[in-house]
Structure 1
């Protein structure tokens, strides 16, 4: 081998080693692909966060237990609940029945319907597609769906609930449009919108109106762009790469017995109805531990480009004065102090859910219930244990939803 060839070989090897090392000097494989093989898949957090001391964890655990005792006593059943900081679980609680008729208890592995917290996951998949330039934030739906009747509706106005469209449960129960005697799917909903002359409720991008129609259409956009069914796309983009083994989408093809039942306050089971196959706005089943994995990945460096991430976590609706607002797939509270809280609640049949992500403090609070209760929505008060959030831990009559 000539001297020039030896020099070139050594240079190439040195270059590969340099680009294959992380900040700690450990060698990485520069050609490593994410497990799903998709460039827009979410990736798990690789860097370990600072370890919490036993003293810190024990103190926070006592404070959380006192919160339950002071506010709920023993009246807090059918709850799957988790609090974590730096990816480390401080407290978790699994109570009540996953299936009362068959005496099956809730456990850390029991998937519960997360209701509208599904919107955070749907939005995350859409945002990954935007970041990968598969679609654009300001892309009009008329470019995605033939004969779509609203020319000003964009991906962005779906994400921030400013599309002005009507809620599908308000017009699809009308027999003239669809009716309650047959199951509605996302594709059916799109056909109704296109063919039944459903008018806008308000002019697009003039008002905030929380609307499940927006996220049912976002699910169809995911299908259109990826060429996969929403359930498969979510599996490949989020669930599998993050190791969310107890998380799945319920749709019209899912056996009904796979869905964990939900109950009214008196343990009367909610029956399935004609809207139970619509997904994107709801219909993801998950566990607090799986959602912790999702939260870590969503708050990891590299989840989204800086510019897009900044657009996610800001409010878009200031027509009415108040602290509540909505970003791109996330609710927020903004106070005069400059403090912000990011969260999302959910409610479908007997299922209630709350996801509170404390981004500055690297903490998360997750509460899921399959027996109807509004207490799930009070879990954001626990944010006061981790930062300067204006909530009280002892107000038993708080109704902060």
Structure 2
């Protein structure tokens, strides 16, 4: 698929000094055009200040086949930007005295095997529940084409029989499972489906006419298509619907969960939500303030997350609240500078790199500050990967050694090299792919000899290639560097027992 950028710079409403506004617009336009032309931005950004749209910019296509450009009216998957909405639904029930933050979850779900976990814990990610994505690994592996519902996933949680990562309130640990249960809680208390509740109590009152929760089992809606480059050794973007889920992870199996994600909206609708939320139309000011206050853990320390919101106090004296969203093929952000009454709305349906840097740069430029330029250097790992697959290990080694000293144009990243190895083990189907995987992950141990993860990954590849003794030695090396690597210890035990 040919890469093509459709650049569209929209209006700036001059609600401050016209000359300053024009200068800010030019800086933002220039920055985003450079990002788009260097494959760092394919989506849309909009900024509101004091409730008005003051800046918009779009790049690339929402649908490359139909040549539909991205815009502020493009419907897109919010991913985890859905969480503030789920938290709001629960807080509305608290406001209307249908439940309390201090209520144990088992008050509403008697079979819930965690008596110490409260509604507050789920909202603030401090419940200590097992990680949804972890305990579902084996289930998904055995049911690669199945799309799981909230109810089914809750059933698998019950099968964990009360196992916790830590006691409730002791730590902060991001939990999609917790927000899935919160969606079930909204349904239980309100007597409505989560989709219907959100439509009636949030979307409609806020004037969000283009927003909805995707129903369980329904097909992908006609919104911005998500695109990825499937592997480190590919160079062309492909649409998520065109990929075979059993070989390339696309989040399909967990893609219909309600609560942690799966809300669809537009940037214009998000601005309407922002205005409705801070005008008191959706929630009283006391509960809104509490939702944007850092949670206090059992030890008295705070973590900068409230109920569905990250909270940041920057070096300029501003209070920022935000939530970002990431799912395969799309990233999204809703960030509010409460001090300036300024909100950035953003999505990118290519999951382009330097996500947070772009958001920070936009924020700095809006307020007349400087910002670091984007790192426009290319990935040495990707150049090496393409050479490896096209012409083999010797040619790839020549390419790697030729480019590695050219730090002005190429960067080297340990995690990228690790991901390349995993791509070759799990996704590649061509002859010799396992040998290539071992070659890549071996190189990573040489490049980053103090990293336990490089040895652990190399051990995994060796084990998959049937090299038992070599894999055992590498797992032992990984555990020497990181004795807390429980998964590595389990894998080593299984190998020795064979």
The answer for the alignment partner of 2:279 in structure 1 is 300
The answer for the alignment partner of 1:240 in structure 2 is 204
Counterpart Cα distance in 1 of 2:223 and 2:33: 31
The answer for the alignment partner of 1:275 in structure 2 is 254
Q: Determine helix, strand or coil for the equivalent of 2:288.
A: helix
Q: How far is the alpha carbon of 1:143 from its aligned partner?
A: 0.5
Corresponding residue to 2:89 among 125, 134, 147? 125
Corresponding residue to 1:146 among 110, 121, 125? 110
Q: Does the 8 A contact of 1:354 with 1:376 survive in 2? A: no
CA 1:302–1:259: 2 relative to 1, 3 Å: closer
Counterpart Cα distance in 1 of 2:280 and 2:125: 27
1:189-225 CA-to-partner distances (Å, cap 9, x unmatched) read 1122224425111111100001111111111111112
Q: How far is the alpha carbon of 1:348 from its aligned partner?
A: 0.4
Q: How far is the alpha carbon of 1:292 from its aligned partner?
A: 0.5
Matches of residues 170-185 of structure 1 in structure 2 within 5 Å?
170-175=134-139, 179-185=143-149
1:76-119 CA-to-partner distances (Å, cap 9, x unmatched) read 44212101111221211222222223333323322111111110
User: Which of structures 1 and 2 has the larger relative contact order (alpha carbons within 8 angstroms, sep 6+)?
Assistant: 1
Q: How far is the alpha carbon of 1:394 from its aligned partner?
A: 2.8
Q: Does the 8 A contact of 2:318 with 2:337 survive in 1? A: no
Corresponding residue to 1:381 among 354, 357, 361? 361
Counterpart Cα distance in 1 of 2:281 and 2:151: 33
The answer for the alignment partner of 2:71 in structure 1 is 107
Q: Does the 8 A contact of 1:123 with 1:328 survive in 2? A: yes
The answer for the alignment partner of 2:265 in structure 1 is 286
Q: Determine helix, strand or coil for the equivalent of 1:174.
A: helix
Q: How far is the alpha carbon of 1:270 from its aligned partner?
A: 2.1
TM-score normalized with structure 2 length: 0.63
Q: Does the 8 A contact of 1:317 with 1:326 survive in 2? A: no
CA 1:357–1:346: 2 relative to 1, 3 Å: same
Q: How far is the alpha carbon of 1:245 from its aligned partner?
A: 1.8
1:202 aligns with 2:166: yes
CA 1:84–1:354: 2 relative to 1, 3 Å: same
Q: Determine helix, strand or coil for the equivalent of 1:314.
A: coil
1:230 aligns with 2:209: no
Q: Determine helix, strand or coil for the equivalent of 2:279.
A: coil
Aligned residues: 347
Q: CA RMSD in A?
A: 3.0
Counterpart Cα distance in 1 of 2:168 and 2:150: 21
The answer for the alignment partner of 2:475 in structure 1 is none
Counterpart Cα distance in 2 of 1:58 and 1:335: 26
Q: Does the 8 A contact of 1:263 with 1:270 survive in 2? A: yes
Counterpart Cα distance in 1 of 2:272 and 2:31: 25
CA 1:139–1:324: 2 relative to 1, 3 Å: closer
The answer for the alignment partner of 1:394 in structure 2 is 372
Q: How far is the alpha carbon of 1:381 from its aligned partner?
A: 3.4
Corresponding residue to 1:168 among 112, 117, 132? 132
Unaligned runs of 5+ in 1: 1-49
Q: How far is the alpha carbon of 1:73 from its aligned partner?
A: 5.4
The answer for the alignment partner of 2:25 in structure 1 is 61
Q: How far is the alpha carbon of 1:317 from its aligned partner?
A: 5.4
Q: Does the 8 A contact of 2:42 with 2:59 survive in 1? A: yes
Counterpart Cα distance in 1 of 2:53 and 2:99: 36
The more displaced of 181-190 and 115-124 is: 181-190
Which structure dedicates a bigger proportion of its chain to helix? 2
1:310-335 CA-to-partner distances (Å, cap 9, x unmatched) read 32122125799x99721111011235
CA 1:392–1:116: 2 relative to 1, 3 Å: farther
Q: How far is the alpha carbon of 1:361 from its aligned partner?
A: 1.3
Q: Does the 8 A contact of 1:324 with 1:333 survive in 2? A: no
1:131-183 CA-to-partner distances (Å, cap 9, x unmatched) read 11111111111011121000111111111110100121111232399844422
Unaligned runs of 5+ in 2: 1-12, 230-235, 242-249, 377-498
Q: How far is the alpha carbon of 1:53 from its aligned partner?
A: 4.3
TM-score normalized with structure 1 length: 0.78
The more displaced of 233-242 and 336-345 is: 336-345
Larger radius of gyration: 2
Q: Does the 8 A contact of 2:74 with 2:267 survive in 1? A: no
1:310 aligns with 2:273: no
CA 1:349–1:364: 2 relative to 1, 3 Å: same
